Amino acid sequence: MNFSSDNSYGVADEIMAAVVAANRGAAVSYGGDDWSMRVSARFADLFEHEVEVFLVPTGTAANALSVATLTPAHGAVLCHAEGHIHLEECGACEFYALGARLVPVEGFAGRMTVPGLKAALARYPGIRHDLVPSALSLTQSTECGTVYPIDEIAALAGLAHENGLGVHMDGARFANAAAALGCAPADITWRAGIDILSFGATKNGAIAAEAVIVFDRTRGRDLFHRRKRGGLLVSKTRFLAAQLEAYLVDDLWLRLASRANAMAARLAAGLASLPAVRLPWPVEANEVFPVLPRALAVKLRESGAVFHDWTATGLAGTGHAPSPDECLVRLVTSFRTEAGDIDAFIAAARGLAERT
Amino acid sequence: MNFSSDNSYGVADEIMAAVVAANRGAAVSYGGDDWSMRVSARFADLFEHEVEVFLVPTGTAANALSVATLTPAHGAVLCHAEGHIHLEECGACEFYALGARLVPVEGFAGRMTVPGLKAALARYPGIRHDLVPSALSLTQSTECGTVYPIDEIAALAGLAHENGLGVHMDGARFANAAAALGCAPADITWRAGIDILSFGATKNGAIAAEAVIVFDRTRGRDLFHRRKRGGLLVSKTRFLAAQLEAYLVDDLWLRLASRANAMAARLAAGLASLPAVRLPWPVEANEVFPVLPRALAVKLRESGAVFHDWTATGLAGTGHAPSPDECLVRLVTSFRTEAGDIDAFIAAARGLAERT
Amino acid sequence: MNFSSDNSYGVADEIMAAVVAANRGAAVSYGGDDWSMRVSARFADLFEHEVEVFLVPTGTAANALSVATLTPAHGAVLCHAEGHIHLEECGACEFYALGARLVPVEGFAGRMTVPGLKAALARYPGIRHDLVPSALSLTQSTECGTVYPIDEIAALAGLAHENGLGVHMDGARFANAAAALGCAPADITWRAGIDILSFGATKNGAIAAEAVIVFDRTRGRDLFHRRKRGGLLVSKTRFLAAQLEAYLVDDLWLRLASRANAMAARLAAGLASLPAVRLPWPVEANEVFPVLPRALAVKLRESGAVFHDWTATGLAGTGHAPSPDECLVRLVTSFRTEAGDIDAFIAAARGLAERT
Amino acid sequence: MNFSSDNSYGVADEIMAAVVAANRGAAVSYGGDDWSMRVSARFADLFEHEVEVFLVPTGTAANALSVATLTPAHGAVLCHAEGHIHLEECGACEFYALGARLVPVEGFAGRMTVPGLKAALARYPGIRHDLVPSALSLTQSTECGTVYPIDEIAALAGLAHENGLGVHMDGARFANAAAALGCAPADITWRAGIDILSFGATKNGAIAAEAVIVFDRTRGRDLFHRRKRGGLLVSKTRFLAAQLEAYLVDDLWLRLASRANAMAARLAAGLASLPAVRLPWPVEANEVFPVLPRALAVKLRESGAVFHDWTATGLAGTGHAPSPDECLVRLVTSFRTEAGDIDAFIAAARGLAERT
């Protein structure tokens, strides 16, 4: 009953096999290898668009490089107040963007809204003494386990472009969103106005493999140098590229994400049946955020369940905030989560809740 | 006959097996896993000293983090003029050290000398309007394929400490130096005055695994935050730690490096027997830098040999500089280089040289 | 009727005379001159404390240097949401602090509260992947024309110190606060827990002269190098120091500020007598922020009054926010504002309001 | 007999008078004042070219802002090894350029040569893992008291432009060079290929006033934001602009510089008549660098002369280096140096030398 993180579950067998298979003979290093070439071509096919592809070992790196290429140091980067780049990356974006500022935008369930973005932009009326809003960063699927529909992305990106901002998507869980929407990857990226994407694979079964996908080359510049300068250019690139190649072959990425999503839906359904538990946000990807009685959370952990407490800041003033006796927790499902584990967790919760 | 780079040859079987074996069950991410704990303990044993260990995926990252923790932004970092951090990392040290300056110090065959270091320090007489010399960075084995003896490290580090500088060692090829010297790892690190070490494994058989080893905790601070901020904290740390664990078990690291060194010695001996070829620097680790007739280099490549031209800046004024008809090239041997390949290369060179 | 800014009114005669008088003979540059020595001694007397004094030409520079010395690059700097460093300095703090983050804290009328600060700190529960709260910056007098009482400063600084934060005071209008409170300068600085102060003179009658005053030398480090590196060390320091010397002699600074404060009080009283106008914040220093009918603001400007519109973000949800027909404006009084100007403005407003 | 620095001698009377005169009535701050408008127009006239003008209080600031706008953070900035930006500004260029690297280029007497610049550029063969040479910075007049002739500037700037570099001129002593050459200011700036100029006034009689002059607006971007972000935008800009206006009126700048140059020539002639003294570099502006017996330097100081020792690094290997009994010193003349002072110094030196 481990729901602590997508990162806890190891690596999909197909991906590990590809890494092992890549260990044959000599290969050019620093991106000149055949695996890297093939992966770039696959991404172009997948997105139905010319792309530049920069492989890196972490999602934080992918985000920070992407954001940095969209903003000058005196720029303001608008992101969701609960965005990963804002809350959990130790200022990597500010570091790579050489001192630019992240400006949190409010919104419910991890999703920014057009009025929220308009209000944030209005705080920068173009006075020359002030920072210049230069980039918008959206997360898909969001940090609250929700998914932006296509038209919302297009509306936000359109507003950003009208105001001269470049648009980045943090796709650490892009696969979960794509699987949930069942749309073409292009539909929620460049066709909706995304200029640059952090395409994640690590949370969904890779060892350590993320790709920065540049759709608009006029915006995403200097990435080769920025990646090297950040110490993010691995030497034996074949092993990084091999992970992503296996991830894309035969839609493995979507199959893994669909499994994780299905497990989250099963978990959400089970939780919804418990009177003491409520789900403030819709469950649309592979994360479930129940508000539980604190006593129940303690007992669940005692019975072996593993999960993290979560900040309820985003629930303040929404009518969903935990009472003093309650807490918000995060339950993550993965490509390897078993239905039996879900059912055992729900059964335990039901039993414990009744006795509480 | 591929002598292009240590990075071309893939991964040692023991290391790949350890990565595959690590893919079992759930594990804590971000460094809390058992593999990471065990690796830290192994490093403490290996170096006979308390250490803090920070795993990262690239050598550039290890160097830049190490240097950054030793210097303020208004500091000067003294390094060899041909040092990797100076010539081949796209300013990663300046980036992580937030604008500090690398100051190249002259020296022969990749080795800085005490008089050279004294002269460099003398340029900073402590005027308050100027940068503050704050760190010394040595490479072991050096970028010229040589190895610092223990007492030279101690003399340089001692001079640095007297002047208030912290001392970093770039050990991308630390194994080759340790194997060549046959000394305890402690003898060429903390016992000789090294405060922080980039301990490399990638060039010597890992997929992508380097360790920053902090010997002096009062100098090497904030590394946890700096690593995260640089996007260098991989999530599934068990797979990074598993590489280094396998690398250290049963002295695999020394066995791999000894093999590479032996192949370099064989190559050097063969080259020394060719009248048209000379070796300006002693061959002490796994890199060989012959000065060849340009025509011979061309023909060797035509016959299938792979190697890089190298900058001869370091030979200027030494009496060893290539004539206009000559060039300096780099031949790297690895843990997987075969004696047959060496012999074939020498035979080809001999044949081609005779016909030239 | 110019109420646009403290910076509009030129220079106090005593200060200009001191600059002219300093132009005699040769003097050591870069801070070694007699004027600089005397000013440092005067500051120590004024604050009844050992201090280090760093003169700079702008308030933004004083703030950014001060904040930068209190925080690492991976630090979070807590400041009021309407703080000058947050809204009007183009990210100077982020620049000098090498990418640290400003975190806005809510509070009414420009004053942070202890519960507000506690809530902000609670968002940083000490997880090692996150930024480290490292500095608190308060403005005295505030950007809303209010003044922190001594005990509120002490409470906020105490809470900051308990949590390991250094405390900075932006005293661009320190004189107005000191004059309003009638207390010893020490009472609202080091005795209340301030570690480093931006002591402003420019807004209150100097040409361009601000001083960074360091009370706690263990916190305020490297300022000499940081100032030079920022291009902020003027060469002919005697002319900078002469301004501050004249400013401090015979309490000129307090006399100038008292005049400005008195004019603001006169203006506030006049505005309070107008039915269509309200003052959401108390008027305690030299700035008055009335909410006016938009039509009245237009007519006042037509009749020759000069003043800026102001953002009403800080009034949202307080019951004082302007209606769509109203606007918030800022009226600043200075050491040179005439009572006649105030009275003419009030008379005009009364006449125009009646006819609207 | 004070020859310590151009900064020691205070302010020209015309400039001080202009500052005093500017202290009348209210004026718009932050560059919107009439003085600033007039100064910009004067610079356009002076340089016979459209220009953007950014006033700042220090020369280090002017240089750092200029260089920063020409280079990305992963750029290399080529400058003379003895350049002020390299040796005496505490890394201000690296700070403003967000971590770019200064690359020293060799050359005699403060002047870079075309072969020297070619050699420096050749070290960056365009490999994508390396820094990108992006800017050239020349000093006119140089730090060694010499002046670049027009055609040398054109040759260096032409080579820089061919290689994609922008070109900056550090004109802290631009007036001395223009006075020495007797040419149009345009001839040694944009007509010779300079893209951006630090135009100094402080060393030549202002209180604290320098101007960044942008000739090529496609290269010199974001300066408004960069200046503000650096804390370099003074509020009461009229007093800064008034200095520069007075400096330009009736060629005051050239008259002041001509006086300083003439005094340097007189000093050089006197020194040349002393057998024990030699001048390794030609004296072309307002600085004289004699090599003296150490004993003579001591006695001159005892007799009241004030001057600085200077680094002789630039003389190494030229045949002009001081012997162990000699030292290199710097003697600076200013707009206020008296001929009598020069003559007294020479007489003293002659007398002391005879007795030594």
CATH number for the domain including D282? 3.90.1150.10
Strand extents, DSSP E, chain A: 52-56, 75-80, 101-105, 132-139, 166-171, 196-200, 210-214, 287-288, 291-293, 308-309, 326-332
Residues B139 and B95 in one domain: yes
Distance CA A68, CA A226 (A): 9
Please tell me chain A's helix, strand, coil percentages from 3-state DSSP, rounded to the nearest 5: 45, 15, 40
Domain boundary among B252, B275, B302: B252
Report the gap between the CA of D96 and the closest CA in chain B (Å). Answer: 9
- B94 vs D94, D123, D311: nearest CB: D94
**Record: contact D72-A229, CB cut-off 8 A:** no
Q: Which two tokens stand for residue D61?
A: 């600031």
D129 — contact with chain A (CB < 8 Å)?
Answer: yes
Q: How confident is the model at residue C106 (pLDDT cuts 50, 70, 90)?
A: confident
Are residues B132 and B74 in contact, defined by beta-carbon separation less than 8 angstroms? yes
Question: C258-262 long-range CB contacts below 8 Å, 24 or more apart?
Answer: C258/C179, C259/C335, C259/C336, C259/C337, C260/C6, C260/C176, C260/C204, C260/C285, C260/C286, C260/C333, C260/C334, C260/C335, C260/C337, C261/C176, C261/C179, C261/C180, C261/C285, C261/C286, C261/C333
| pLDDT at residue C201 greater than cutoff 90 | yes
Question: Is A25 within 8 Å of B16 when comparing Cβ atoms?
Answer: no
For the question of an ipTM over 0.90, the answer is: yes
CA distances from B170 to B80, B189, C201 (A): 11, 11, 50
Q: How many distinct structural domains can be found in chain B?
A: 2
CB-CB contact of A64 with A97 (8 Å): yes
Q: What CA–CA distance (Å, rounded) separates D9 from C25?
A: 6
Kindly state the helix (H) or strand (E) to which residue B103 belongs, with its residue range.
Answer: strand B101-105
Q: Which one has a higher pLDDT value, B354 or D179?
A: D179
Cβ <8 Å between B73 and C229? yes
Q: What is the pLDDT of residue D106?
A: 87
What's D75's domain CATH number?
Answer: 3.40.640.10
Kindly identify which residue of chain A lies nearest to residue D229, measuring between CA atoms: A74
Q: Taking Cα atoms as reference points, which of D253, D243, D194 lies closest to residue D66?
A: D194
Q: Find the mean pLDDT for residues C15-23.
A: 98
Does B194 lie in the same domain as B279? no
Cis amide linkage into residue A5, ω under 30° from 0: no
| Burial category of D164 from C-beta neighbours within 10 Å (exposed 0-12, middle 13-18, buried 19 and up) | exposed
Say if D177 falls within a structural domain.
Answer: yes
Closest CA to D241 of D46, D6, D17, D18: D18
Inter-chain contact A228–D129, Cβ cutoff 8 Å?
A: yes
**Percent of chain C at pLDDT above 70?**
99
Residue C293: the pLDDT is 96
Q: Is residue A317 located within the same domain as residue A203?
A: no
Answer whether residue D192 is part of any domain.
Answer: yes
Record: contact A229-B91, CB cut-off 8 A: yes
Closest CA to A135 of A104, A170, A161: A161
* Within a domain: A94: yes
Cβ-based contacts under 8 A for chains A and D: 35
What distance in Å separates the CA atoms of residue D40 and residue D244, rounded to the nearest whole number? 10
Q: Averaged over C131-156, what is the pLDDT?
A: 97
| Residue that finishes a domain, picked among C252, C271, C305 | C252
Distance from CA of D228 to the nearest CA of A (A): 6
List of E strands, D46-179: 52-56, 75-80, 101-105, 132-139, 166-171
Question: Tokens standing for B171?
Answer: 């050990």
Contacts of A273 (CB under 8 A, 6+ apart): A346, A350
Helices A252-272, A237-248: axis angle to 10 degrees equals: 60
Provide the β-strand partners of residue D214.
Answer: D52, D196
* Strand, helix or coil for residue A249: helix
Asked whether residue D224 is domain-assigned, the answer is yes
| Distance in angstroms (rounded) separating the CA atoms of residues C335 and C10 | 10
Mean pLDDT of all residues belonging to chain A: 95
Chain A from 229 to 288: CB within 8 A of any B CB: 229-236, 239-240
Tell whether the model's pLDDT for residue C123 goes beyond 90.
no
pLDDT tens, position by position, C290-308: 999 999 999 999 999 999 9
Is a pLDDT exceeding 70 seen at residue C356?
A: no
How far apart CA A32 and CA D13 sit, in angstroms, is 66
B5 found inside a domain: no
pLDDT at D303 > cutoff 70: yes
Across the interface, whether the CB atoms of D57 and C60 are under 8 A apart is answered: no
Looking at A252, A276, A308, the residue that finishes a domain is A252
pLDDT of residue D49: 98
For position B128, what pLDDT does the model report? 65
Instruction: Give φ, ψ of C126 to 5 degrees.
Output: 85, 15
Say what percent of chain A tops pLDDT 70. 99
- Smallest Cβ distance to C74: which of B30, B74, B229? B229
Same domain, B140 and B267: no
Give B240→chain A minimum CA distance, Å: 9
The reply to whether C101 touches chain A by the CB within 8 Å rule is yes
D80: left (phi over 0), alpha (psi -120 to 50) or beta: beta
Q: Are C257 and C335 in contact (CB under 8 A)?
A: yes
Q: Is residue C79 located within the same domain as residue C199?
A: yes
Match 């006819």 to its residue by tokens. Answer: C355
Residues C232 and C280 in one domain: no
**Of the candidates D2, D62, D231, which has its C-beta nearest C64's C-beta?**
D231
Which has the closest alpha carbon to D130: A28, A56, B92? Answer: B92
A202 and A318 part of one domain: no
Cβ neighbourhood burial of A295 (10 Å; 0-12, 13-18, 19+): middle
Q: Along chain B (356 residues), what's the average pLDDT of each consecutive run of 10 residues?
A: 90 98 93 96 98 98 98 97 93 97 94 96 79 97 98 98 97 98 98 98 98 91 94 97 98 98 98 95 98 96 95 87 96 96 96 79
Q: How high is the pLDDT of residue C112?
A: 96
Give the separation between CA D269 and CA D271, rounded to whole angstroms: 5
Q: How far apart are CA B176 and CA B178, in angstroms?
A: 6
Question: For C258-290, b where at least 16 C-beta lie within 10 A, e where not — what string?
Answer: bbbbbbbbbbbebbeebebbebbbebbbbbbbb
Select from C73, C222, C233 the Cβ nearest to the Cβ of B98: C73
CB of D197 closer than 8 Å to CB of D212: yes
Average confidence (pLDDT) over A165-172 = 98
Q: Are residues D290 and D200 in the same domain?
A: no
Tell me, what amino acid is at A356?
T
Q: Which residues contact A269 (CB under 8 A, 6 or more apart)?
A: none
- Burial bucket for residue C340 (CB in 10 Å: 0-12, 13-18, 19+): exposed
Do C200 and C306 have their domain in common? no
Candidates B71, B124, B127, B129: best to mutate against C (most CBs of C within 10 A) is: B129
- Per-residue pLDDT for D128 more than 90? no
A63 to chain B: which residues are within 8 Å by CB? 231
- Nearest 5°: phi and psi at A165? -90, 145
- DSSP-derived letter for residue B57 is S
In this predicted structure, the answer to whether residue A127 has a pLDDT above a threshold of 70 is no
Please state the rounded mean pLDDT for residues C88-95: 96
Chain centre distance of CA A287: 11
What's the CA gap between C139 and B212, in Å, rounded? Answer: 42
What is the distance, to the nearest Å, from the Cα of residue A57 to the centroid of all Cα atoms in its chain?
15
Distance CA A197, CA D236 (A): 45
Cα distance between residue A80 and residue A75, in whole Å: 16
C1 within some domain: no
Task: Tell me how far apart the alpha carbons of residues C96 and C100 are, in angstroms, rounded to a whole number.
Answer: 9
Say yes or no: D126 and D262 in one domain.
no
Q: What is the pLDDT of residues B303-337, one digit of tens each?
A: 999 999 998 888 988 888 999 999 999 999 999 99
pTM of the model: 0.97
**Amino acid letter at A47?**
F
- Residue B46 host element (H or E): helix B34-47
- Per-residue pLDDT, averaged over A246-267, amounts to 98
Residue A183 included in any domain: yes
Q: How far is CA B26 from the centre of its chain?
A: 34
Q: For strands B291-293 and A132-139, give the pairing.
A: unpaired
Q: Roughly what angle, to the nearest 10 degrees, separates helices C237-248 and C34-47?
A: 30
Round the average pLDDT of chain D to a whole number and report it.
95
- The subunits that touch chain D, with at least 3 C-beta pairs less than 8 Å apart, are A, B, C
Q: Which residues pair with C198 in a beta bridge?
A: C170, C212
**B243 lies in the same domain as B273:** no
Regarding whether D274 and D233 lie in a shared domain, the answer is no
Q: Is A300 within the bounds of a domain?
A: yes
Asked if D98's CB is within 8 angstroms of A129's CB, the reply is no
Q: How many Cβ atoms sit within 10 Å of the Cβ of residue D163?
A: 16
Q: Could you tell me the residue range of the domain that residue A266 belongs to?
A: 254-355
Q: What is the pLDDT of residue C128?
A: 66
Residue window 159-218, chain B: list those with CB within 8 Å of chain C: none
